[in-house]
Each structure stands twice: as C-alpha cells, then as structure tokens.
Amino acid sequence: MYRVMIIDDEISARNLMKVSIDWRSLDMEVVGEAGSGIEAINIIDDIKPDIAIVDISMPFMNGIDFTEVASKRYPDLAIIIMTAMDDFEYARRCVSLPVFEYMLKPIVRSEFTATLSRLKEKLDKKFAEVKRLGLSEPHDDIAMDKSTIDQIKEYIENNYKDSKINLTSVAQQFGFSSSYLSRRFKQETGKNFIEYLTECRMERAILMAGENTKMFCTSNEVGIPDTAYFGKCFKKYTGMSYSEFAATKKKQ
C-alpha cells in the first residue's frame, strides 16, 4: 500500500482530502500530515511517504520550496502540488521541478481520484520493473564504531539551527543510507535521530525562554521557523507552552 503525506497549512483542507477520497481502493493510505514545508521536512524521515500532496501557499516554506528540497533528498517521492487559481500559472512556470501533477483547489473528487489512479499506475510499473530486475536498496558494508556516531552527534549539535537538516541530509553528509544511519543511531544512543535533533533544539529553546526571548525569535534561532510547529514541539518536550515556561522562569 502506498504511503501518502498531506502538507497544507489549512487543517480543514487536510481533513477534507482525507475523507473525500477512497484511499484504500487506490491501494493508498494517508500516514501523516504537516502544516508547513518546514514541519514536513522535519518529520518526513519518520513517515517515509511514497506520495506527497503539497499546497503551494504555506508560511515559512511554500510548496515550491519544499518540492525543491524534497525532490533532491528523496528522488523517488511522487509529488502533487495543489494550488488556488491565483497561483496556478506561477506553479506551472516551475516546469523544472519533478512534479507529477499540478491541481486546482478546491479539489474536485473525480478529477483528483483520476490523477491518483494515474499515479498509482506509474508507481506500480516502477515497482514491477524494480522487482523484475531484482534491484533492492543497497546494503551498507561500512561498520560504524561509536566514534562515528559521536561525530554525527557533534555535527547535529553544531548544525541544528539549520531548518533543513534532517536524517537524509546528515546521512548523505557522512556517506550512509538514511535507513542504515537511523538504525545504528538508535542502537548506539537509545534515541532516534529526530528525538536527538529535537532535544538539541529544545534545550537551546529552554535557555532562551528563560532569558524571556520572544517565541518567534527562539523558533528561528533553533531551526524551526514555523512557530506553530515549534510551539507543539516545545510543549511536548517541556509539558508547558512557551509562554507558560517563560513566565515560570521569570518568577524564579
């Protein structure tokens, strides 16, 4: 079953897309969603989608910027860009991007289903060809001792302010596949990659909150310019909202 990720800053649009399409009949399932391109880049390694449905107009990282980043890091990812009429010609001008289709919002269920059916046929043929040739994901023959993991941890600590850093970019930096690095990082540290990256970001954010720094300044400083997503991460990590945490520290 093909894994689908929906990326749109409008919750209502994401919900409509989830309920209006018979995903199972297309051999697809919606496995994740994000409210911005930045949030999507941060969690895409955990979700591992085959298909990304991306709104063109989003804050911090729009659909075109996301596509430019994602298509380089995930060349097998199939991308459908959703756009309002006002942005349609702008989207179509970006012909160099490896986008499967550009579609107008609001979605017309029959047209969208037809597009997804065509995409399924393409993915089915690709999968069949890979199977026929006996291809598989390359195995990593390089063994990492803990020193390499320590280097990777240091790299994360020095670069977490970069909003585009993620498992795939770090794996490429050190010459490993993302799946291999993910497995070994968990084995060596007891944490998965995104947990460690988030920990680095949140520990810095905690210090800045204690200094009464404005949330939007802190979110940019730690590599999560999407303040809504930053707020969710901060509350999950500390158990308090950013403003609550800052107020508590101010009283101490």
Q: What is the reported pLDDT for 76?
A: 87
Q: What is the reported pLDDT for 87?
A: 64
Strands 51-55 vs 28-34: parallel, antiparallel or unpaired? unpaired
Q: What is the reported pLDDT for 178?
A: 86
What homologous superfamily is domain 2-133 in, according to CATH?
A: Response regulator (3.40.50.2300)
The answer to whether 171 and 144 are in contact (CB under 8 A) is no
* Per-residue pLDDT reduced to its tens digit, 200-223: 999 999 999 999 999 999 999 999
CA distance linking residue 12 with residue 14, whole number of Å: 5
Q: What is the reported pLDDT for 173?
A: 85
Q: Give yes or no on whether 2-133 and 146-251 have one common fold.
A: no
Neighbours of 201 (CB within 10 A): 25
- pTM of the prediction? 0.69
- In the chain, what are the domain boundaries? 2-133, 146-251
* Per-residue pLDDT reduced to its tens digit, 76-132: 899 999 987 666 666 666 666 788 998 888 889 999 999 999 999 999 988 887 676
At residue 156, does pLDDT exceed 60?
yes
In the chain, how long is the greatest CA-to-CA distance?
A: 66
In 48-177, which ranges are continuous DSSP H helix? 63-73, 85-93, 109-133, 146-159, 167-174
| Residue 68 to residues 45, 65, 122, 179, Cα–Cα distance (Å) | 16, 5, 21, 22
What homologous superfamily is domain 146-251 in, according to CATH?
A: Homeodomain-like (1.10.10.60)
Q: What is the reported pLDDT for 2?
A: 95
pLDDT-based confidence at residue 11 (cuts at 50, 70, 90): very high
Find out whether the peptide bond into 106 is cis, omega within 30 degrees of 0.
Answer: yes
pLDDT-based confidence at residue 73 (cuts at 50, 70, 90): confident
pLDDT-based confidence at residue 139 (cuts at 50, 70, 90): very low
Mean pLDDT throughout 144-149? 71
- In the chain, the amino acid numbered 231 is G
CA distance linking residue 177 with residue 138, whole number of Å: 8
Mean pLDDT throughout 152-170? 93
CA distance linking residue 169 with residue 155, whole number of Å: 11
